[in-house]
Amino acid sequence: MNSTIEHEKCYGAHNYEPLPVVLTRGEGVYVWDDQGNRYIDMMSAYSAVSHGHCHPELVQTLNDQAKKLGIVSRAYYTDKLGDFLEKVCKAAKQDKALPMNSGAEAVETALKAARKWAYTVKKVPDNRAEIIACEGNFHGRTITIVGMSSEPQYRNGFGPFPDGFKLIPYGDAEALRRAITPHTAAFLVEPIQGEGGIIVPPAGYLKKCAEICRENNVLLICDEIQTGMGRTGKFLACEHESVQPDALVLGKALGGGLLPVSVFLSREEVMNVFTPGDHGSTFGGNPLAAAVGAKALDILFKENLIKRSEELGIYFRAELEKIKSPLIAEIRGKGLLIGVEINPHYSSAREICLRLLKHGVLSKETHHTVIRFAPPLIITKEQIDDAIKKIIQALEGM
């Protein structure tokens, strides 16, 4: 057993089960292990590394800002935050943004905003606001968020959970209509369920949900932490159905693969429910994060990464569909967010991931049966071709 792996296991909580590889360096779509072996990164840190590993401009921005000013808290104004907030608001077509760090923090912010909006604007009776979410969702790991999860492992041993949440089937707009009451504040939904297995809802689902929310004065909040920032071939996945949500959360790729950066965005009516002292974060919106976040947005558009994701996603999926293997039950996704469902009668997704590792491709299973392919958006057609060859080699002989 690798001594580095044993060292981590000795001192770290066992809340992850990593693949047995020790990564030490990254550049572009590639990472290297401690033995010098090179791998194509098909995970992108759950979409956090959409710009590629160690993008030179992002690293330069990080270094330059770190030499000037890193963290001072939101007790003061800084010269970087306003520019970052303007760029992310304009890209997402929202009025205001509230910066946080992790995706879960941004979701928590969305939940607080929705509840206070319900009490102050919609006039829901105190402590009666409801938020509807979907079965199979993954919005984070806090007590509140796992309390609205349908995954037993995420909940077992962590209760009791806060009240005020309803779960409905994903992809069923009429289930949303039936679940809404006069006390419903918001509907929180992923345009594509990532951790749930790259589940793409039926065409028109999100648009219908938006109509139902609008008819009932319910906020539509889209969780675009994994699907946003060009991952599905649009800046936001909800743009595939021309849906403008009332609010949304962004994260992961917003930090350029270097820092945790997230935001909750909404229209002015919703954001104005916050007053000084209602909410905050020591690190949220710090100058270092703001500088990197602004540059990450600049690069996304300057390098046409969104269009690349759309075009190369179509190509990658078409090449995967050419693979004739009884192990593959289904291929689904949008842009460079692709899930390959493995037939459990032949193998587990983890076993396939271990075989991919031996052939120089890094991926990770979700829900035991699905392999994610979500490479950095800078990947080339030639690199996809190379990955396809390695995927075929990994599947052969099983």
Residue 352 is given by DSSP the state H
Please give the Cα distance from 304 to 246 (Å, whole number): 27
130-134, strands of its sheet edge to edge: 96-100, 262-266, 247-250, 219-223, 184-189, 130-134, 165-168
CA 264 to chain centre: 13
Which spans in 52-146 are helix H?
Answer: 56-66, 81-92, 103-117, 143-146
User: Catalytic one among 223, 235, 246, 295?
Assistant: 223
Q: Report how far apart, in Å, the C-alpha atoms of 238 and of each of 202, 244, 334 are.
A: 13, 7, 12
DSSP 3-state of 69: coil
370-373, strands of its sheet edge to edge: 328-334, 337-342, 370-373, 365-366
Handedness of CA 287, 293, 296, 297 (dihedral sign): negative
Determine phi and psi for 88, rounding to 5 degrees: -75, -35
Question: Whose structure tokens read 């996809």?
Answer: 384
User: Catalytic one among 33, 41, 87, 138?
Assistant: 138
Question: Whose structure tokens read 């990947």?
Answer: 379
Burial (CB count <10 Å: 0-12, 13-18, 19+), residue 313: buried
**Token digits for 269?**
């009516």
DSSP 3-state of 263: strand
Q: Report how far apart, in Å, the C-alpha atoms of 198 and of each of 222, 253, 324, 397 are.
A: 16, 18, 21, 26
**Token digits for 236?**
């936001």
User: Catalytic one among 80, 87, 208, 252?
Assistant: 252
- How many CB atoms are located within 10 Å of the residue 289 CB? 29
Contact 28, 378 (CB under 8 A): yes
Annotated active-site residue 252? The verdict is yes
The one-letter amino acid at 266 = S
- Residues noted as catalytic: 138, 223, 252
